[in-house]
Copies of this chain bind each other. A is one copy, B any other.
Amino acid sequence: MDNNNLTYHITKTDRKKREEMLGQKAVTLWFTGLSGSGKSTVADALEQKLCEMGKHTMLLDGDNIRFGLNSDLGFSEADRVENIRRIAHVCKLLNDAGVIVLASFVSPYAADRQKAKEIIGETAFTEIYVSTPIEECERRDVKGLYKKARAGEIAHFTGISDPYEAPLSPDVAIDTSKLSLAECVERVLVSLK
């Protein structure tokens, strides 16, 4: 797009002011991991905890956002890239609004997570790798997706027919097959202090 005719509009009420009003630092906690690894369960429990602490949060979820903003996108690699790009910009806008974001997405490609980090801003971005082994995720198979993927009924399924590039140096790593939910929440909380 030709941006020559756009002027960046600086508003008087800014992120800093909004963070002050809410008494918090607006960050994005980005949960990455396989389907069934427990990302949303941990994110939900963490959000409850933050809420009890008086923090103001918003949870973005892969499944949820695809019904709305990204309902025009499928699961090809190009669409997954665009999916993450848009989500990262929404995280940024929510952070600009002073809100702490919990973003729970498979986000299998390291390059996309890196791009998300750049969009959101390095200091605001925390990468949480939910490292539950695929055997355990497949055993749980909460949504029956692994079964379908193994049967070839779902194409581009991360961990089966599409790769998952594990984070090499996440800010936090949690394996929900080894830690309790409370321990997982605590590890993320500690990383924020």
Contacts and interface: CB of A to CB of B under 8 A. Distances in A.
A154 interface: yes
A48 interface: yes
Given A9-B40, A47-B12, A66-B1, A56 B90 contact: no
Contacts of A64: 8-9
Interface residues of A, number: 55
Given A18-B56, A66-B6, A86-B86, A1 B61 contact: no
A44 B11 contact: yes
Contacts of A54: 21
A7 B63 contact: yes
A8 B44 contact: no
Specify which of A61, A68, A74 lies most central, judged by the most chain B CB atoms within 10 Å of its CB: A68
Interface of A: 1-3, 5-9, 11-13, 17-18, 21-22, 40, 44, 47-48, 51, 54, 56-61, 63-69, 71-75, 82, 86, 89-90, 92-94, 96-99, 119, 143, 145, 148, 154
A11 B46 CA distance: 11
Contacts of A17: 51
A58 B93 contact: yes
A21 B51 contact: yes
24 contacts: A1-B71, A1-B73, A1-B75, A3-B66, A3-B67, A6-B67, A7-B143, A8-B67, A9-B40, A9-B61, A9-B63, A11-B61, A12-B44, A13-B47, A13-B51, A18-B57, A18-B58, A57-B97, A58-B93, A60-B93, A68-B93, A69-B89, A90-B90, A94-B94
